[in-house]
Amino acid sequence: MSAAALGRQFPGQRAFITGGGSGLGLALATHLAAAGWTLGLLDREPSRLADARTQLLQHGAPGVHTWVADVTDEVAFGAAVTAFADAVGGLELMVNNAGVATAGSIASAPIADWRWALEINVIGVAIGCRAALPLMLRGAGGLVINIASAAAFAAGAEMASYNASKAAVVALTETLAAEHGDDGIRALVAMPGFFPTRLLDTMRGPAAALGFAQRMMQRSDYTAERVALEILAAAAAGRLHLVTPKAYARLWLFKRLAPAYFVRWMARQRARAAQRRGGGSTERT
């Protein structure tokens, strides 16, 4: 089991997860709970946190500590991470999972949506990293997992602010690895494709973009539980990047090998999809 393998590498088995009340955050917490990890969860929804705590204790977590806060609140978020480490004696794993979705073109999307996406998806992750690093540095090291998206590299049109925010998470994670790799601190950035989650509950952007994202999620045969397992397995293997599922991993390789051609190819796919829709088809690429 990947969570158990990770636990052998970090015997303290203490993890803090943002957005831990549902979706991918809760799926990661559930796998860790079953492997005996003590958990700290941060979320904006008290009822979700309460339900998650009950569920995780039933799955075997020796302890579950919860905080209601926003990841953009540097004081409250930082205090929660420190309080968790103080309560359980340290921190080995920090998962920056909380995020939001936005859509709209560069020209049309409100700047308020840009600020919202960047503040939560990038600054929130940075605050989490900054809160965890001192605790890991004074311990025996640790691991930071940041959740980005395949949108970080497959930068489709009409998703400018979201694409940019997730690309920034990749760069932030790579920088963390460069700065602290010699300190016993590892980093992993996960870039999953579409899978069912609550991300769209608060999505900002045109109705057409929301509808497209909903259809892509519905068509996906991936689940948060499966993505969580792959993330923990990649973390246990010491990887820096994870792109999943395989179809997206192939796109990641394509982009790295031929970036300019990849951008042109993405534009052609979009044009073909638009042509099919114009002909009455509902098929999307």
What is the set of active-site residues?
162
Distance separating alpha carbons of residues 223 and 225, to the nearest angstrom = 5
Q: How many CB atoms lie within 10 A of CB 179?
A: 12
For tokens 């394509």, the residue is: 254
Please enumerate in sequence order all residues whose Cβ is within 8 A of that of 141, keeping only pairs 6 or more positions apart, or say none. Answer: 92, 183, 184, 185, 186
- Is the CB of residue 51 less than 8 Å from the CB of residue 255? no
Distance separating alpha carbons of residues 15 and 90, to the nearest angstrom = 9
- Is the CB of residue 269 less than 8 Å from the CB of residue 285? yes
Distance separating alpha carbons of residues 77 and 64, to the nearest angstrom = 17
Quote the strand ranges of the chain, DSSP E: 14-18, 38-43, 64-68, 93-96, 142-147, 185-192, 241-244
Sheet holding 38-43, edge to edge: 64-68, 38-43, 14-18, 93-96, 142-147, 185-192, 241-244
In 3-state terms the chain splits into helix, strand, coil percentages (rounded to 5) of 60, 15, 30
Distance separating alpha carbons of residues 43 and 66, to the nearest angstrom = 8
Structure tokens at 6: 């990770």
**Phi, psi of 61, deg, nearest 5:** -65, 130
